[in-house]
Amino acid sequence: MRGEMSQPSLERAVELLSRTGSADFERDIGGALTVAITRTFGTELTGTADRMRIVGGMELSGRVVVGGRRYRVTMVCERAVLETAHDARIRLRALDICEEGAETIVLASHQTLQRPGRMTAIYCQDVVDGDVVDGTIIDLSRLGVTFQTTRLLRRGDRLFLRARFYAEPLETTVRVSSSRVVNGSVIAECVFSVPTRELAEAVERIARARREVPDASPLDIASVRRSLIVERVEEAPWRRLLRRSG
């Protein structure tokens, strides 16, 4: 039985962000920003960043992991002044920290989780309603999934997720809470729109099955993808109306 892990303080979160000397953030207007950190003091840090991608008042979101749990740290840029032709000297202050997803129980293993997943767009900014978004689920928690795809997903997009883990189906509506581009792929953090008890129990069953599977066990990609095929998709009512009116 694991003990309860308390949420880290803002000071602790800033310290964790600065450990490697640089940190990656998501901007409130979209896109990523890397900050080279030079100093931390309490809930504030100073450093340098691309002057074209940061302005005073902008909110940035970073991530830290404590005790196997992932937290989202929101910071505001209180000061940004030109330092070189390419960089700005900035000061950030931590505003808030919240648990982004429950403990990543499926990843507590020697092998990273990677399972094919398929999502159908319900309402997205850059994906047509009803269009299928194929990708890979690289993380799973009681609150949502991390989905890697080549399609452009943005914060606020809503989709229907369909996946299968060790014969356990997972079907639910998700909302994109954040997204970033890594090596040409979009990494979307998706939260369950309605995190029910049934969903939590399904994730627990998947976690138990994951721990029982040897690390060397091969993944039958073909069978998993076959299980994701949707034979019939219900047509949106407004599309039927448009067709009749035409």
CA angle (38 as vertex; 32, 44 as ends), nearest 5: 75
- Amino acid type, 62: G
Does 136 lie in the same domain as 23?
A: no
Whether 38 maps to a domain, the answer reads yes
pTM of the model: 0.50
243 located within any domain: no
Residues 161, 19: Cα–Cα separation, whole Å:
35
Parent domain of 129: 105-230
Handedness of CA 215, 195, 70, 224 (dihedral sign): positive
Based on the fold, state whether residues 219 and 111 are members of the same structural domain. yes
Q: What is the CATH number of the domain that holds 79?
A: 2.30.110
Rounded to an integer, what distance in angstroms lies between the CA atom of residue 38 and that of residue 46?
A: 6
CA distance 73 to 16: 11
Please identify, among 100, 116, 139, the residue that sits at the C-terminal boundary of a domain. Answer: 100
pLDDT in 10s for each residue of the chain, 246 residues: 344 457 889 999 999 999 888 888 888 877 778 899 999 999 999 999 999 989 999 989 888 888 767 788 999 999 999 999 899 999 999 999 887 654 444 443 334 557 788 999 999 999 999 999 999 888 887 778 889 999 999 888 999 998 888 778 888 999 888 888 877 888 888 888 877 778 878 888 887 777 776 554 444 444 444 444 544 445 544 455 445 554
HSE-CB at 118 with a 13 A cutoff on CA atoms is 14
